[in-house]
Structure 1
Amino acid sequence: MLTVSEVSKAYGGKNLFEEVSTTFDPGNRYGLTGVNGAGKSTFMKILSGDVEPDKGHVSKPNNARMSVLHQDHYKYAESVVRDVVIMGNDRLWKALDEKNEMLVEVDYDNMSEDQGMRLAELEMVIAEEEGYDAENRAEELLVGLGIPAEFHGQKLEVLQGGLRLRVLVAQALFGDPDILLLDEPTNHLDIESIRWLENFLINYSGVLIVISHDRHFLNRVCTHTADVDYENIILYPGGYDKMMQQKVAYRIAEEKQASSKLKKISDLQDFIRRFGANAKKASQASSRKREVEKIKLSMSDLKRSNIQRPFIRFELARPSGKLVLEVDRLSKSFEADKPVLEDVNFTLTRGDKLAVVGPNGVGKTTLLKCIADIYQPDRGSFRLGHEVSVGYMPQDHEEALADAQGKTAYEWLHQWDPKATVEEVRGVLGRMLFPSEDADKPISALSGGETVRMLMSKLTLTKDNLLLLDEPTNHLDLESIRALEEALVKYEGTLIFVAHDQALLEEVATCVLELEPDGKWDFFPGGYEDFLRKTGKLD
């Protein structure tokens, strides 16, 4: 059990949450949700003890072991991958480390009685923590998260950044902790690894608190949702979608109540205007004035929701012809004898929405860059149809903003439609949740979520009829992802997109291209769920 008692925290004069009291129980899996900037990560750090609250405290049983997903992989760069995972159980790792040091420094046949006693104590700790099977269990976690066996005995620094973070996920999961805190554990995981993690967590019996922007993941894993809003942490039964249903119903009820109060105030003020000067009814008018003030006071105490949702709509400057794209035996490699894409063939017609899926590193980004004319294929070709215009949003946002040096948000956005008026460009920014003063904010000062919304703003201005989107949900909060999902479903053009967000894949894709290692591929003319069913991957 993890207990939060009257916890408050503010940053820069803004209250994130105030006097929060709640309990997280064993056997329950909690999704911690809220818009970007609401305080999710801060609350998680308060739970882990990394940040002190302004007021209140967090408590857990003395013997409970807490495990936290850390993002600082540089700390472990010189350590062996397998050992990094085992370090997730601090008690076991310290015992193993001390035992190994003793066996190196002490003559086993001539050790003192004190040394023998200490070694026996260490052996007992190792046995209690199931240390003699630790390497096997660590390797099972690594394999499940997509770390090939040949890397298990190497130093962490040899892995690419995304794989290093997977090792840290394995570290957090290792050793069956009583309390597990995970902040964005699905980042840098491909879909197969996400599905493995989902199944692992569903079988976890301790207290799980997880932050994720993957709605499908939250719906499948979580038994409860802890939502950061109204300067509070509000617990709801069920996953994200069920929470939103309850939250919307609550907001509708609050709005109706507020409307009723405003009508009551209007009626009371009407009486005061009519009879305030009437000596016979002066006491009644005074009574109604006090009642108005009382109602206004009750309304001022209501905290506002911090939910904000961008308005996203991708329109077409002109429709394309029926045939949009033909890809003919397209091949690309970066190393000899190691094809990334090999003889890829497919055709898209107007309105098709192609999801490109597969493990990390199989060429999804490479394919989009070929079609965007950034990479030249080694052989084969692609052909755009009549009147096709291409809008591309890369996964690497710095690449997309290479021309933004020294420009403000307004200046950078306006260049994509010089005919647009100042009001039109600022209107686009406003619909994408940029306050009016942020129009003059330097592009270099934008947060990750703001940068993604800026790139989408560009696409709303260029009005292309073929969109290439590479991981468009990165850095977006759940409400923004839902807005993007709805916009892509309504989009009348043609779409090719790469995403690890399973809800987005299920709702948007009308066809699927699966890329596999060594250049292999398969094109499926149907939705994502049908693709999973056909390939036997649907649970």
Structure 2
Amino acid sequence: MATITLSHLTFGYDGQTELFHDVSFDLDLSWHLGLVGRNGRGKTTLLELMQGQHDYAGKISVPTKLRYFPQPIQDETQLTLYAMQEASTAEQWQLERELNLMHGDPDILWRPFNLLSGGEQTKVRLALLFAEEDGFALIDEPTNHLDAASRELIADYLKTKPGFIVISHDRTFLDAITDHTLAIDKQAITLYAGNYSVYAQERERQNEYERAENAKLKRDIGRLKQSSRAKHDWSLSREGDIHGDPHVKGSGGTGHAGFVTARAARLMKKSKVLEHRMDKAIAGKSQLLKNIEDVPELTINTSPDHHDVYVHVEDFTLSYDGQPLFAPVTFDVRRGERVALAGPNGIGKSSLLHALQGTFTGTLTGTLACPPSLTRSLSRQLYADNTGTIAAFAEAHHLNYQDLLNNLKKLGLERLAFTTPIERLSAGQQKKVELAKSLVTPANLLVWDEPLNYLDLYNQDQLAASLLKSQPTMLFVEHDQAFIDRVATKVITLSPAANP
């Protein structure tokens, strides 16, 4: 079977540490391959290298045409059909065929692309990706902004397609569609036969082995250092035998060679050799295994309010122009609860969070109440107003700069990003800034809208573990079912409003 072959690939951006060094592997074009790894490790860059977008050392052999998602759209204001045809030679009937296969609405082709929802834009771009049957698909994060039902539909759709490479931070999605996994880890790139769960299990076994080896090495280092100190002291004593101490009577401390005995010189030489060997052994042992991912606990600056009920919602709905977004809903968010809002895209989950903040522009019906003293910290879906350097951003938002910096470091933000304007950072880096801002903002209640977008799987685990440890009160929207199952203490599902 045909393969994409990488031979002795070496690549790094100017002024930065190499992303890949002397990397070689083969990827079968029949595989449904999941490409995983922490943000900044080079997943998207690897897809770009395959497409010839960067200069590199080594060789990449691609025996077929490559097709990439998401495709660039030149004019997002034009009708979707024309925007798609501008990016491809696909015919209308081919796009409609693919949309039908993923249970999408072909009528979206006749609406302006920029007026489509995020989920609709994803579906039409995937339809474009597979409308033409030649070539091999490279799919970069297709699940952002998709609700759980849409993710299942896209997964069912992709399972029927020929080989592809997909980057995703949704482990349930990866498990459903992949049969091989290429992992860009801390110090190695490894290919696994199996989906993400197979990789994760093998990875954890490797981590346990490395932790045990590191513990053993640290004990060995401790013993060697103790022995080295003893050898060093002995070496000094041998030097004293040779040169003596001029301040001690009878020590032979004149420094003349005539006072050096042959036996003392041999002992000193032996002690120096032993000391050198000990230092060399310590240096060797100190090279601990470093492929374990460091995922430290995040600092969450929440404190409980004295009220038992933080948010009271009763017979509540939202509407635009008299059309309700969802059926009336009743629930409370109590102190210590982490409440997830669930429901399909477009039903009004984010709008309910906006209503809580007083920023919803439509009509509110029913009761939505919070104690006047309640303070909230937001993590939003859209944050184009986050600009300037991290230091200037912290000052503008009255945040503790050191606390913000510490959380950003724990989230894995690269050092170069600290002095780069936020608006010039990658999507994943910008997401970390928005999330870190919320984490360090003093508050009683966290209000988060799709916090996992653009976060890698390690950051997702880190965030979940930190929330479970800190136990803040939360109201949040998220489509990743694994995260909801792990974090939420209660799930409120919004249902479509009954037809009038």
Aligned with 2:392 (options 395, 398, 408)? 408
Cα displacement (A) at 1:42: 0.8
Cα displacement (A) at 1:496: 1.6
Cα displacement (A) at 1:287: 5.5
TM-score, normalized by length of structure 1? 0.72
Structure 1 residues 31 and 295 mapped into 2: Cα distance closer, same or farther (>3 Å)? farther
Aligned partner of 2:38 in structure 1 is 35
Cα displacement (A) at 1:149: 2.6
Aligned partner of 1:216 in structure 2 is 172
Amino acid at match of 2:68: V
Amino acid at match of 1:340: L
Which secondary structure does the structure 2 equivalent of 1:391 belong to? strand
Residues of 1 paired with 2:389 and 2:304: CA distance?
A: 31
Which secondary structure does the structure 2 equivalent of 1:378 belong to? strand
Kept in 1: contact 2:452–2:478 (CA 8 A): yes
Aligned with 1:498 (options 469, 477, 495)? 477
Cα displacement (A) at 1:271: 6.6
Amino acid at match of 1:56: G
Cα displacement (A) at 1:406: 10
Aligned with 2:316 (options 301, 320, 330)? 330
User: Which runs of 5 or more structure 2 residues have no equivalent in the other structure?
Assistant: 239-263
Structure 1 residues 229 and 285 mapped into 2: Cα distance closer, same or farther (>3 Å)? farther
Aligned with 2:342 (options 357, 370, 394)? 357
Residues of 1 paired with 2:328 and 2:6: CA distance?
A: 57
Aligned partner of 1:314 in structure 2 is 300
Structure 1 residues 343 and 271 mapped into 2: Cα distance closer, same or farther (>3 Å)? closer
Q: Once superposed, what is the RMSD of the aligned Cα atoms?
A: 4.0
Aligned partner of 1:121 in structure 2 is none
Structure 1 residues 310 and 388 mapped into 2: Cα distance closer, same or farther (>3 Å)? same
Aligned with 1:7 (options 6, 9, 23)? 9
Residues of 2 paired with 1:160 and 1:469: CA distance?
A: 20
User: Which runs of 5 or more structure 1 residues have no equivalent in the other structure?
Assistant: 97-133, 522-539
Aligned partner of 1:397 in structure 2 is 383
Cα displacement (A) at 1:339: 2.8
The Cα offsets for residues 118-168 of structure 1, whole Å up to 9 and x where unpaired, read as xxxxxxxxxxxxxxxx93x64343245564232245665664565334322
* Percent identity (aligned): 25
Aligned with 2:151 (options 194, 213, 223)? 194
Q: Spell out the pairing of 1:35-434 with structure 2 (5 A cutoff).
A: 35-53=38-56, 55-60=57-62, 62=63, 64-74=64-74, 81=81, 84=84, 93=90, 135=93, 138-143=95-100, 145=102, 147-152=104-109, 156=113, 159=116, 163-175=120-132, 179-206=136-163, 208-230=164-186, 232-238=188-194, 239=196, 241-253=200-212, 255-256=214-215, 258-259=217-218, 262-263=221-222, 265-266=224-225, 269-270=228-229, 272-273=231-232, 276=235, 277=238, 279-280=265-266, 285=271, 288=274, 291=277, 295=281, 304-305=290-291, 307-309=293-295, 311-334=297-320, 336-375=321-360, 377-385=363-371, 388-398=374-384, 401=386, 408-413=392-397, 415-416=398-399, 427=406, 431=410, 433=412
Residues of 1 paired with 2:278 and 2:270: CA distance?
A: 12
The Cα offsets for residues 59-81 of structure 1, whole Å up to 9 and x where unpaired, read as 24x4x454322331227875763
Which secondary structure does the structure 1 equivalent of 2:184 belong to? strand
Amino acid at match of 1:49: G
Moved more, 379-388 or 479-488: 379-388
Structure 1 residues 407 and 262 mapped into 2: Cα distance closer, same or farther (>3 Å)? closer
Residues of 1 paired with 2:11 and 2:454: CA distance?
A: 23
Moved more, 343-352 or 305-314: 305-314
Kept in 1: contact 2:337–2:489 (CA 8 A): yes
Kept in 2: contact 1:357–1:498 (CA 8 A): yes
Higher-Rg structure is 2
